[in-house]
Every structure is written in structure tokens, then in C-alpha cells.
Structure 1
Amino acid sequence: MAEKGESGKSGPGKAGGGSRKSTIYDIATATQTSPATVSMVLNGTWQRYRISEDTALRVAEAARALGYAVNMKARALRLSRSGLAGMVIPHYRNRFFADLAEEFESRARTRGLCPMVVSGLRDPVTERSVAETLLSHQVEFLFFAGVAHPEPLNRLCSAAGVPSVNVDLPGEAAPSVVTDNRAGAYRLTRHLAEHAATRAGPAARIDFLGGVPDEFATDGRVAGFRDALTERDGAPPPEDRIRRCGYWPEESQAAVAALHAELGRLPDALFVNSLSAFEGVVQYFRSLDDEPWHDCAIGCFDWDPFAAFLPFPVAMVRQDVATMIDVAFARIAGGETTGTTLIPPLFVPNDGRVMRGAGSERRPQASVRQSAPAG
């Protein structure tokens, strides 16, 4: 006997003056599937019979369109879906995290999901609280972006039967999708060395500014910085060329002021680790009576289009947000539980061109690279 809509309302599939209620046969016709497939989707056994999620979603949407008004809570139970996708980011101040959130929302909506993005404020207690809240709303999966130690949150998700993925910073308890920081930093440092050499010679001084010690992104970028200068000089740069002064503008402003005072000039080139730190460098430059930054090649591992309007050229590394989010969704869909995927960043030299495969001189690659599971 044909199963009928729970509300008893007639839909577009009605016939004979609107008296007939939509049935699973109408849904099967609309979706070009079999009545058995429709029945298995609507009674929640579709996964057991290896019916694809896309087909299940298509059947559910057709049921709604045809007036087969399934109660949404019952539908969530039957399809094991809430229709919600969750993401935790540190904050929205940084363009990178704002772009991650925007791409996540866009990709979630194309999959028929309602995105929920919440700030964790880089505070472990807040991060756990918002993760628990999102899980209480039965999100289907969680993205953790920029969480320094995501393993407790990944385990929290696993205990709830909810898949998770780490973006930007990796963790051992879930799949991770991160920028190839080392390759990007290597490319940016080589660019700075080439430009500084035109004014100061092949041994031009290059300093690294920003970031924090023992942090994944900073460590990778410092490694790429060292790779490029070791290649140039035959020896790694002195440790005093690397100033991990933090990410906040006031910290980098104080650090570049101290460097200027120590040298009696600016270095021949300056590698700035993040847009927030770059903001502090620009603030210091504005405080100077003369313009000594004309003799300093500037590079930033981060990107903002407004940098093109500064009175000095800036080379930038732009993280490939779209690819990172696409790969993160693919890893969730693939049921992966560990391992880190490195995404080559984009390189934006002084002329504003966007170039793919930053760091390709050191590692020949033009696409994502999968690493072995962490640990």
C-alpha cells in the first residue's frame, strides 16, 4: 500500500481536482528512482542499503515539494540528519578566518545544509563550550579552524558520533587540512632576497617578524625562511634574525621599532608573519618622519587587497581558502579519521599577480599533498 504524507495535505502531484495525496510513487517518478528507494529513504534505512546521500537528499526535497510533508524532527531522525553544519573559528577580525567562514557557508548551502559559524576566541574553554552547544543542536559535522590544540574537541565529536575536521592548524584525532606554510615561506623569502639583492647585494639582510614559538604555522614559516636563506648563504640565518613577537599589531610595532633602533636602519628586507603583525609594521612606518622603508623589501605571509594601495610594494602569500574548504568537505564525505593534507598557498608578488604553487621551486607540486597520519 502506498505510503502517504504525514500531514495529509495535497501537493503538486495531486490529480483529479486536487483530491489525491502525494505518494512514494509520485516521489519516485519525480526523482527517477524506484518506490523501494523512496521508501528506504523515508523510513531511515537508506544508509543500510548503500543509497547515496545525494539520492537521499533529492528524495527528501522532492517529498517536500510534492506535498509529502514529513515532520522535520522525524525526518532528521530517519535520515540521521539535522541539516546543520557547524564551524568554530577564532574570530572574524582576520580576513583569512572571515574568508574561511564565508567559503564554508557557501559550500554547506550548496549541499543543502544550514551553516552555523561560531567564534571560539582562541580560548580553550570557550572553544569547548561552543563545540558542545553545536553538538547539542545535532550538527552533522564540525570544522575546527585555527584551534591550537583541537584533539580534545575532535574526541568530543567522536564520542557524539559526529565527524570533525581541522582546518589551518592540524590535530592527531581527526583529518586535517592546512596550508603548506613551509613552501609558502620559502617562496616569499626567495622573492625578498632577489629584490633586496638589487640594492644591498647578494648577502642582503632579511629579518623575520611575528608569530609565536612552538606554534604550527609559525614553525613552518620559520622553517621555509631558513630553507631559502640556507640555500642562498650556505648556512642558516642567525637566530637574532627571527623575532617571534606575537601576532598583535602592538607587538609587531614594538618589535620593528626595536629592530630599527638596534640596526640604526631598517633591514634590507622584512618577512612579516601575518596580516595582524603587518598592521603593526605599517603603523610604525607611519610614525617615521622620513621614509626609510623605501630601502626595505616587504613581504607578508597573509593577504589583503588593500595592501595594493600602500605607498610601498608588498609581496604576499595568500592561503588558498577555497581549496582548503573543498578538501575539508571531501575528507568529511570520505569518512577519513586522521592524516594531514597540505594545500599549496598562492603567491602574490609586488605586481599583484596571483600565482599558484608557492614554493614549487623547492617541492615540485601543483596540487594538494597528503601526508601520513600525524604522530
Structure 2
Amino acid sequence: MQTPEPPAGGARPTSRDVARAAGVSQATVSLVLGDKWRGRVSERTAGAVRDAARELGYRPNLAARNLRLGRTRTAMLVVPALTNEFFAHVYTGAAAVAARHGFGVVLYPSPDGVGPARDPFASAQAALDGVIASSMAADALDAFRGTDLPLVMLDSDPSDSGASAHVNLDVADGMRRVTDHLLALGHRRFLHLASAVPSWTFDARAAALADALRGTELRTVRAPLSVAGAWEAVTLAFEAPGPRPTAVICDDDILAVGVAKFARRLGLRVPEDLSITGFDDLALATAVEPELTTVRLPAEEFGRRGMEALLAVLAGEPAPPATLPVTLVPRGSSGPAPAA
């Protein structure tokens, strides 16, 4: 190895300068200084590279190195949709905690606008410290399973052992609160307008609803998470033979608004002829008349707790499962069951 000459003009030495001084390629310099040379580069060559780097006073570009190693103090939040304000609040909560710890949060929504996101990890994994995945199907994470990138799951099956931590909302209790409210008002014929999106959170709501309403008349129909989808589904349900339901329990406020529009078009009074309940307590819930009885979910707190769990995992600390309480908000869309 020749005696290294520092770069002209006092410029900071680069890996190219080290490679030139040691008589090797830049790829070899990267292997040696990244401590990945064993079995690929000889001891003698590795020593030459280290000597050249030391004599030149070379220091790696930490920003570029962090980008390659995925140590960028960046987390990815995967959500099924940006069209639903709930996920905007989840992001706000996660980003607030991240900022206090010098982290950034990038948002990955489903390209289809709803439902499970497609695999984002193949291109992004190297630039991430961890992932927070909200309300998405497990198969969207297939490419991630088995890697060492931490995953915190929100509103998902707590028995999923592939996640580093779980933070959930007590959606089952939310449905129990809805049913207790409606049963106390005398309702005994129910329609459950369920989300057609496959997700643990909607399965948990349906199971709690079926258990709480055992012994009553309960029908379930599924609808896309849209006003038009709800309208179409509830129209078919009301055209079916048999007594009409006196209350429609919806998996989401958007579905409940679709039912309210349907009821108005049919000439049904809400809540005198038909009670309607939602879930989430979006801004939409108070934009309709009468305002929706719904279940309030602490979306920002949800995002905060998810980011805190990820930071704990990254720090090697325990992140026990957490379940956040929800609140029933009775409003004008629910009332006593109509007389037979």
C-alpha cells in the first residue's frame, strides 16, 4: 500500500479515496468498514483498508450508512385508508410521540383506499426502524414475517405471535354498550350492518354483538365501507320477508349515515320508527340530523400508545399488550322501540 495522500483542498476523504489508497474497490472498503468482510476479503486486505482509512482520517457518512442499515429513526404506519378520518387521528398521535424522540413517521395507505395494504416492505424495509400496522389483514405482512424489523399491531388479533407488541381498542365492550343501550330502550329486532372488509376488529365486534343479543332477532348483512354500499345493503335487508328490524347497529359511522339516508328516502322517522347506531364517533356523526348514537374510539391515544410500544421494543424494553377503553355516546338517532 502506498502512503495515502489526503484529498486536495482539505476536502473530507471519501470511501473512494480509501479504496484508491488501499488498492481495492469501493465495495471492498464498504465490506471492511461495515464489518462484513469475513469470508469475503482476506485479513491482509482488510488490514490495508483499515490502515488507509485511519491515515486519511476517514469517517463514514453516517447518514448514508444509516439509510443502508435501516437505522434512520423512521417508523412506517400502515393504514387501510386515508379516506377515513380515524386513521388521520391515529397518525397524529403516533407522529407526536415520534417527534418527541427524534423519530419520523411515514404513512403507507392501501393503494385501493380500503382493505389490506399491499406489501410495502420489499422496497422500504432497509430504511425503517419498525412498523406500526393498523387494522389490516395479516397476509399483507407475509413478506415481513421472519425478519428482525419490529412490528406493532393495532386493533388486531392479540394471539398473533408474529408481532412484537399489540395495542387494541376494546371494540367488544363498545358493542356490548351499544346493545345494552338498545335493549334498555325495548328493542328486540336488530339488523347488524357489518363491514365487508376482512379484519379482526370487525370479527370481534360481530362476536360480541351475537353474544349480547342471543335470544333476540338478529340478522347480519355486510356492506363496503361507503354510504352507497350501506344504502344498497340495507335496502336488500328491508326488502326481505319478515318483520322489519327496529334498530340497525352499524360497524362504522359511514355505514350508519348510509342507513339514515335510506330511512329518510323510505319515509321512516329516526328514531321513532328506526334507531341507528354507528361506531368510531367521526365528525360525520354530528353532521347528520339527528346526530348519531355511536361508540367513541380514542384514535389519537391509540396512535400514541402504538408508537410508545414500538419505541419500547426498539429499546429492548417490555411492551405488554394494551387495550384502550371506549365510550358510548348516546345521541338523537336512538330511541324507544316503536310499538308493535
TM-score range, shorter chain: 0.5 to 0.7
- The reply on whether 1:167 has 2:154 as its aligned counterpart is yes
**Are the aligned partners of 2:260 and 2:276 in contact in 1 as well (CA < 8 Å)?**
no
Match of 2:129 in 1: 140
- Partner of 1:82, secondary structure, is coil
Spell out the pairing of 1:38-187 with structure 2 (5 A cutoff). Answer: 72-73=62-63, 76=66, 81-120=71-110, 121=112, 122=114, 127-128=118-119, 130-136=120-126, 138-149=127-138, 152-153=141-142, 156=144, 158-159=146-147, 161-170=148-157, 171-174=160-163, 175-187=165-177
**Are the aligned partners of 1:298 and 1:313 in contact in 2 as well (CA < 8 Å)?**
no
- The reply on whether 1:312 has 2:287 as its aligned counterpart is no
Equivalent AA in structure 1 for residue 190 of structure 2: I
- The reply on whether 1:267 has 2:245 as its aligned counterpart is yes
- Partner of 1:177, secondary structure, is strand
Match of 1:47 in 2: none
- Partner of 2:81, secondary structure, is coil
- The reply on whether 1:205 has 2:189 as its aligned counterpart is yes
Spell out the pairing of 1:326-345 with structure 2 (5 A cutoff). Answer: 326-335=304-313, 340-345=321-326
Match of 1:369 in 2: none
Q: CA deviation at 1:222?
A: 1.7
- Partner of 2:272, secondary structure, is helix
Match of 1:223 in 2: 207
- Partner of 2:168, secondary structure, is strand
**Unmatched segments (≥5 aa) in structure 2:** 1-9, 13-58, 334-340
CA distance in 1, matches of 2:149, 2:94: 17
CA distance in 2, matches of 1:7, 1:76: 22
- Partner of 2:293, secondary structure, is strand
Percentage of pairs with the same residue: 22
Match of 2:5 in 1: none
- Partner of 1:330, secondary structure, is helix
Change (3 A) 1:306 1:77: closer
Match of 2:34 in 1: none
Q: CA deviation at 1:164?
A: 1.4
Change (3 A) 1:72 1:157: farther
Q: CA deviation at 1:246?
A: 4.0
Alpha-carbon displacement from aligned partner over 1:283-311 (angstroms, at most 9, x marks no partner):
31342346365322221122123422422
Higher RCO (CA 8 Å, separation ≥ 6 residues): 2
Equivalent AA in structure 2 for residue 220 of structure 1: A
**Are the aligned partners of 2:295 and 2:328 in contact in 1 as well (CA < 8 Å)?**
yes
Match of 1:281 in 2: 259
Q: CA deviation at 1:90?
A: 1.2
Q: CA deviation at 1:92?
A: 0.7
CA distance in 2, matches of 1:176, 1:293: 38
Change (3 A) 1:157 1:222: closer
- Partner of 1:184, secondary structure, is helix
Match of 1:258 in 2: 236
TM-score normalized by the length of structure 1: 0.62
**Are the aligned partners of 2:71 and 2:129 in contact in 1 as well (CA < 8 Å)?**
yes
- Partner of 1:284, secondary structure, is helix
CA distance in 2, matches of 1:342, 1:265: 38
Equivalent AA in structure 2 for residue 149 of structure 1: A
Change (3 A) 1:78 1:278: closer
Equivalent AA in structure 1 for residue 325 of structure 2: P
Q: CA deviation at 1:271?
A: 0.6
Q: CA deviation at 1:150?
A: 5.1
**Unmatched segments (≥5 aa) in structure 1:** 1-5, 9-68, 198-202, 353-375
Alpha-carbon displacement from aligned partner over 1:66-125 (angstroms, at most 9, x marks no partner):
xxx99551684899831322111111111212221222222221221122112124566x
Q: CA RMSD in A?
A: 3.6
